[in-house]
Structure 1
Amino acid sequence: MNFYLMLKWLHILSATILFGTGIGIAFFKWISDRSGDVRAIRLSSERTVLADWIFTTPAVVAQPLSGLAMALLASHPITTGWLAWSILLYAVAGACWLPVVWLQLRMRAIARAADEANTVLPALYWRYARYWFWLGVPAFLALLVVYWLMVAKPAL
């Protein structure tokens, strides 16, 4: 297998991990939050943070590195329409993801404290949960478009 195909494999694999882990984390965290069960929310929050470190973070790094390397090898300037839009939308998703990581860490700490004290989650947790959810919407949509751009490579 040549180097370009290895990069392409890594790029597709990391895109799959990034998107799949992101949607999976979002679903299980959101559904756990809806249950109102503090213990379940704590466990979900802990696993969300863990999954982000193990799966999402390496994929977040692999995506631009493999994508830019492929663009260079294929002699695609990064100003090429579909590629430039992919980079921009990936940056939008990243700009949403960074505060989401911080929110997840805070929600994990709040859920642990509430579980250990056997109390309900405070209003701050629910405010963070709303921010977390709404930051996920543009990130999710941006990545959907990036996927399309990656596959279709339209002339823009």
Structure 2
Amino acid sequence: MDEYLWIKYAHILGATVIFGTGIGTAFQMWAAHRSRDVRGLALVTRNVVKADWIFTTPAVLLQPLTGTVLAVSAGYGLHDRWLLGAILLYGLTGLCWLPVVWIQIKLRDLAAQAAATSQPLPAAYDRLFRWWFVLGVPAFGSVLVIFHLMIQKPTF
């Protein structure tokens, strides 16, 4: 397999990790949140934060590198609107994801404190969770549109 295909493989794998880890951890967070079980929430939020550092962060860093090599190798540039759109949506996803990472850390800490003291979740937890959810909607939507742009390469 030539170098281009290895880079393409890495790019697709990175996109899969970003979306797969994101949807998996989002489901776990949502299910744990709905349960209101502070011990379960403490465990899930701890694991979600770990998953973001172990899986999502490296994939997020890999995508622009592999994407740039692929685009340049294939002769695409920013004059290709589908590529520019994908880059802008990737930026939007990042602008949503960065505060989500911070929120997840705060949710983890609040859930751990509630579990350690056998107290219910504080109101701050619910406010932060709403923001976590609101920021997740455009992030996931953007990734789906990026997939479409990468596959179809539409002309506008």
For residue 148 of structure 1, what is the aligned residue in structure 2? 148
Residue 107 of structure 2 is aligned to residue 107 of structure 1: yes
The sequence identity of aligned pairs, in percent, is 51
Q: Offset at 1:73?
A: 1.1
Deviations 1:84-105, CA, capped at 9 Å, x for gaps: 0000001001100000000001
1:25-104 correspondence to structure 2 within 5 Å: 25-104=25-104
Q: Offset at 1:155?
A: 1.1
Residue 34 of structure 2 is aligned to residue 7 of structure 1: no
What letter matches 1:15 in structure 2? A
Q: Offset at 1:74?
A: 1.3
Q: Offset at 1:3?
A: 1.2
Q: How far apart, in 2, do the equivalents of 1:126 and 1:37 lie?
A: 13
Deviating 4+ runs (over 6 angstroms): none
What letter matches 1:106 in structure 2? K
Query: SS in structure 2 opposite 1:65?
Result: helix
Query: SS in structure 2 opposite 1:79?
Result: coil
Q: How far apart, in 2, do the equivalents of 1:35 and 1:79 lie?
A: 49
Q: How far apart, in 1, do the equivalents of 2:34 and 2:64 lie?
A: 34
Q: How far apart, in 2, do the equivalents of 1:11 and 1:78 lie?
A: 19
Unaligned runs of 5+ in 2: none
Query: Is contact 1:71-1:78 (8 Å) kept?
Result: no
Q: Offset at 1:2?
A: 1.1
Query: SS in structure 2 opposite 1:120?
Result: coil
Unaligned runs of 5+ in 1: none
Deviations 1:80-131, CA, capped at 9 Å, x for gaps: 1110000000100110000000000111111111110110010000100000
TM-score (norm 2): 0.98
Q: How far apart, in 2, do the equivalents of 1:142 and 1:26 lie?
A: 15
Q: How far apart, in 1, do the equivalents of 2:25 and 2:17 lie?
A: 11
